[in-house]
Structure 1
């Protein structure tokens, strides 16, 4: 299985973080349903042109979070994600992104009212039928 994961070698974020966050997004969003077999650590490392240690660390972190599990001799699989766990994660990611946008607006001295109007405009454009 080839996962839609891309690593940015120019990013200040460590590669294992990039892998972990993208895998977590795929799992929590339901794009990788429970029971899905994941590539081996070696296969993923090879497909992303990174070290086995890097992919192992990403898998270990996700296993610690309860998002994946490993069965000796069988492989690594996506775990069942509870609805409340998924909702909490999604909210945290969105809050972090919005917080970064707000901090950027503050640094640029962008008025609060204009930021709110811009947010509303973008929401209307992206979600036109709602």
Structure 2
């Protein structure tokens, strides 16, 4: 199974984190349905051109969160995720992205007003494009 995960080796974020965030989003959004068999650790590592240890960490982290289930001898599957949990994961991801953006803005000395203006312009642009 091919997963639409893209990695940016130029990013400051570790590769395992990039994979984990994207895989979590695929599960929480419902793009990967409950019971979907994921590629083996080796297969995914090979397709993403990263180490087996990196993918193993991602699978373990997501299993700890309750998003994945591993069955010895058969593989790793998407776990059942309740709608409340989906909503919580979805909102946490957005809050984390906003916090990262705000921190980046503060680093380059953007004022609160500048950040607010940027946010509203982007929000308007993205919702205008969807209409």
User: If the length of structure 1 is used for normalisation, what is the TM-score?
Assistant: 0.86
| Displacement of 1:111 | 3.1
Structure 1 residues 116 and 46, CA, compared in 2 at 3 Å: closer, same or farther?
same
Structure 1 residues 112 and 54, CA, compared in 2 at 3 Å: closer, same or farther?
closer
- Output one character per residue of 1:84-112: Cα deviation in whole Å (capped at 9) or x when no partner: 21211222221122122222333333332
Q: Could you list the runs of 5+ residues in structure 2 that have no partner in the other structure?
A: none
User: If the length of structure 2 is used for normalisation, what is the TM-score?
Assistant: 0.86
For residues 32 and 57 of structure 1, the distance between their equivalents in structure 2, rounded to whole angstroms, comes to 19
Q: Could you list the runs of 5+ residues in structure 1 that have no partner in the other structure?
A: none
**SS of corresponding position for 2:32:** coil
How many residues matched? Answer: 130
- The answer as to 2:98 corresponding to 1:98 is yes
Provide the residue aligned with 2:109 in structure 1. Answer: 109
Q: RMSD of the alignment, in Å?
A: 1.9
**SS of corresponding position for 2:7:** coil
